[in-house]
Each structure stands twice: as structure tokens, then as C-alpha cells.
Structure 1
Amino acid sequence: MESHEHTSVDEEVAALSRSADRDSLFMQARLQLAGATDTVLVRVRNLSAGGMLAEVQGRIRGLEQGGAVEVDLRNIGPVPGRIVWIGDGKFGVAFDRPVDPQAVRRQVVRKMEVPPHISALNRGPFYRPR
């Protein structure tokens, strides 16, 4: 007969996050704890649709397992989640909704301001008609 061990929701989410496709990267994000007004800059080391592994220097006051957080990810914006584990300057966040890790990796390209004398080159042929 199979024994069924009771697992918490946090343990299940952590197991899913570990098995999900993860992107290894090195980027920064802003983390805000529930009820806090200020944000903390963290380094994102791994990112998947369901969560992330973050690293921080020092300690974040109020950071605790099960605590609600909001992570501001590049190209996506604020994503709510909760802390699923903490250890040795690193911690795991399970997102409340899936995100697109590839969108976070994309570079934002802005239309460059081009001087008028150069943009005139794009209006017509580059050769002089005879």
C-alpha cells in the first residue's frame, strides 16, 4: 500500500518551480514586501513561468517564508507572488500568475531620434535621376 505524505502548498509550488523550464540569467528586479512602501533591488538568477530564484546582499527585513511580495520584472511589470524558501542570501518566489520568461529577457528598442538631414535620406531614391 502506498503511503501518502502530507505536503504543503508551498512545497508543491517549489517542486513545480524546480521542475519547470528555467532561464538562467543575471538581471535586476525590484521586490516589494506586502505592506511595505519601499522596494529592494534583487538579482534574478533563474526565472521560469511560475517563479524565480533571487539573490540579495545582506538581509531583507521582513522577508519570511510564505510572505506576500510583488516583483517588478522588466517588460512585464509588477507580478504578485510569495516566498517559498529562504537560505544563504537567496530565496525563491512563486508567482501568483504565470509570466513569459522570454519577454523579460528581450531588450526594449526605442525609436532613435534621427537628425533631419539624415532622416531625409529615407524619403526617396539614393540615386539622382538623369
Structure 2
Amino acid sequence: MTRQSDVLSGADIDGGKRQRSRDSLVLTAQIRLDRETGLREVRVRNLSAGGLMVELDEDADVGTPVMIKLQGIGEVDGKIAWCTEGRMGIALDSLIDADKVPRPSGSG
């Protein structure tokens, strides 16, 4: 039997401490905020199984739904966890295998 405490979601936080490792990198992805019709390119600055940080020259409200398209993964839904000074953190709705995202040469 699976208990709720045994199930991880992309937004799990344990007292402010990260539960998953995070890779610092710079790569591009595409994002769609909320109900927008088009995709726009963003730079991904770090990536983990449960979330990522992107650079985007626009503010958005915490909790705003997003879709992010990552090379090697495809489309993943999430929500904005924080947004400040041209960067935003996105908590993914489901865990991904971050190792499937191709890294530029010299990063990782």
C-alpha cells in the first residue's frame, strides 16, 4: 500500500532543504506561461528531477501554470515557485530524469 508520504511530487520540500541534487548549467528550453498560445525560448540555469530555474525577462505570479519543453524529455507541466530579477523557479508536476537532458560541452 502506498502512503501519501511515500509519493514524491515535483514540489516536495523538506523544511526548506532540497531532497534532490541539482545540476548548474546553461542550456535553452522553450516555455509557455499559463494560457499563452506560443512558446518562447528561455535559458535554463539549473535543473533537478523536481524543478528548474530559468532566466526570463518577465515577472509572473507564484503558482502560475507553465509548460516547459526540454530537449531529451519533451513537454513537462509545472508551476512557478518563485520569481525575482529576471529569474524564476519552476516546480515540476512530476519528476523527470534530468540526466536525459543533453548538456552543452564543458557543463555538468
Identify whether the pair has TM-score above 0.5, normalized to the shorter chain: yes
Alignment correspondent of 1:88? 85
Q: Distance in 2 between matches of 1:25 and 1:40?
A: 19
Displacement of 1:103 after TM fit?
0.1
Q: Which residue of 2 aligns with 1:6?
A: none
Runs of 4+ residues over 6 Å off in structure 1:
none
User: Counterpart of 1:68?
Assistant: 65
Q: TM-score, normalised by structure 1?
A: 0.64
Instruction: Specify whether residues 106 and 46 from structure 1 end up closer, same or farther in structure 2 by C-alpha distance, changes over 3 A only.
Output: closer
For structure 1, the residue ranges without an aligned partner over 5 or more in a row are: 1-9, 108-130
Q: Structure 2-normalised TM-score?
A: 0.76
State the identity as a percent.
37
Q: What is the match of residue 125 of structure 1?
A: none
Q: Normalized per residue, which structure has more strand?
A: 2
Q: Distance in 2 between matches of 1:89 and 1:14?
A: 26
Larger RCO, structures 1/2 (Cα 8 Å, 6+ apart): 2
1:30-76 Cα offsets, whole Å, 9 max, x none, are 000121101121100000000001112x326xx22100000000011
Contact 1:83–1:91 (8 Å) recurs in 2: yes
Unaligned runs of 5+ in 2: 1-10
SS at match of 1:102: helix
Q: Distance in 1 between matches of 2:15 and 2:69?
A: 20
Structure 1 residues 27, 14: CA separation in 2 closer, same or farther (over 3 Å shift)? farther
| Aligned twin of 1:114 | none
Q: Is 2:44 the partner of 1:47? A: no
Structure number with bigger Rg: 1
Q: Is the alpha carbon distance of 1:13 and 1:91 closer, same or farther for their aligned partners in structure 2, counting shifts above 3 Å? A: farther
Within the candidate set 94, 98, 104, 1:97 is matched to 94
Corresponding residue for 1:116? none
What is residue 122 of structure 1 aligned with on the other side? none
Give the CA RMSD over aligned residues. Answer: 2.3
8 A Cα contact 2:27 2:103, kept in partner: no
